Amino acid sequence: MNKKLINYLTTFVTPDRLQLFEKVLQYRTSYLTVVLEDIYQSQNASAVLRSCDCFGVQHVNVIENRNTFNVNKEVALGSSKWLSIRKFAESNNNSLNAVKTLKNEGYRIIATSPHKNDKTLEDFDLTKGKAALVFGSELPGISDTIMKEADEFVKIPMFGFTESFNISVSAAITLHHLTGKLRNNATINWQLTSVEKENIMLEWLRSTIKRSALLEQRFLENEKKKQK
């Protein structure tokens, strides 16, 4: 049904827009996903969304413990419209719930924080499987829950007096480095599956076309008539 609906909705977008969607989908990946844990400043979270879109990381997981996630439209520049954003905000320990969910989906939990067993971006092994990159809150950083549950730790080498990068800068550096390594590794199947592409294409069409819900309802009604 999704394919039929997609074919129907594509008639309401320009050929150039459709070609752009298909081109961007070829570079999207779910092999890497980003986890934002309890980010306080909306401009930081929004800048990370923008980096995810630019580097082709489709899925973003947002953990809300004390802080509510808000998109700063002036910073995000519409990037949230093209990403698959999932929130964890309903339990007493949203961080643990997010970790369990991601591990069940086959992701390694990678804490982006200095640790005695950490590795640099250059040494991080992408071939070991999918990775969920966790970026913590601005001041406290990654929570004790994430530190305890993390499978691996990764850090960005620094050679100055300042102890850390701003979270949005840290995410941008990390994604630039790892997505570059990913696409240059012929042994890793990093591209989206055909089903993932269909689902994302459908969401993009829905968010782009005016009155898409009404058009979709009309399509479904016509399909029901055909089946009678």
Range in 91-95, 121-125, 194-198 the model is least confident about? 91-95
Q: Is residue 7 part of a domain?
A: no
Q: How far is CA 83 from CA 59, 78, 101, 143, 164, in A?
A: 6, 10, 19, 25, 27
Number of structural domains found in the chain? 1
Q: What pLDDT was estimated at residue 116? A: 66
3-state secondary structure of 135: strand
The two structure tokens encoding residue 186? 């012929």
Q: What pLDDT was estimated at residue 114? A: 66
Q: Is residue 219 part of a domain?
A: no
**Mean pLDDT (the chain, rounded):** 92
pLDDT at 91 over 80: no
Which whole number is the average pLDDT over 84-105?
A: 93
Bridge-partner residues for 63, per DSSP? 37, 88
Q: Is residue 208 part of a domain?
A: no
Q: Is residue 94 part of a domain?
A: yes
The two structure tokens encoding residue 78? 């519409």
3-state secondary structure of 57: strand
Q: Which residue has better confidence, 165 or 63?
A: 63
Q: What pLDDT was estimated at residue 153? A: 94
Q: Is residue 222 part of a domain?
A: no
pLDDT at 179 over 70: yes
Helix (H) or strand (E) run with residue 32 in it = strand 32-37
Q: What pLDDT was estimated at residue 86? A: 96
Each residue of 44-79: pLDDT tens digit?
A: 889 999 999 999 999 999 999 887 888 888 887 789
Which whole number is the average pLDDT over 133-157?
A: 89
Q: What pLDDT was estimated at residue 1? A: 66
> For position 171, which CATH number holds?
3.40.1280.10
Q: What pLDDT was estimated at residue 59? A: 98
Q: In this structure, which amino acid lies at residue 139?
A: L
Q: Name the pTM for this structure.
A: 0.92
Cα 137 from Cα 139, distance rounded (Å): 6
Q: In this structure, which amino acid lies at residue 92?
A: N
Domain of residue 114, residue span: 28-195
Q: Which residue has better confidence, 158 or 174?
A: 174
pLDDT at 208 over 70: yes
Q: How far is CA 96 from CA 26, 70, 114, 129, 192, in A?
A: 32, 21, 20, 21, 27
Phi, psi values for residue 132, rounded to 5°: -105, 115
Which DSSP symbol is given to 13?
S
Range in 26-35, 75-84, 201-210 the model is least confident about? 75-84
pLDDT level of residue 93 (50, 70, 90 thresholds): confident
What residues are designated binding site? Answer: 112, 156
What residues are designated binding site for S-adenosyl-L-methionine? Answer: 112, 156
Each residue of 99-125: pLDDT tens digit?
A: 999 999 999 999 997 666 788 999 999
Q: Is residue 212 part of a domain?
A: no
Q: Is residue 225 part of a domain?
A: no
Helix (H) or strand (E) run with residue 152 in it = strand 152-155
Q: Is residue 204 part of a domain?
A: no
Bridge-partner residues for 153, per DSSP? 111
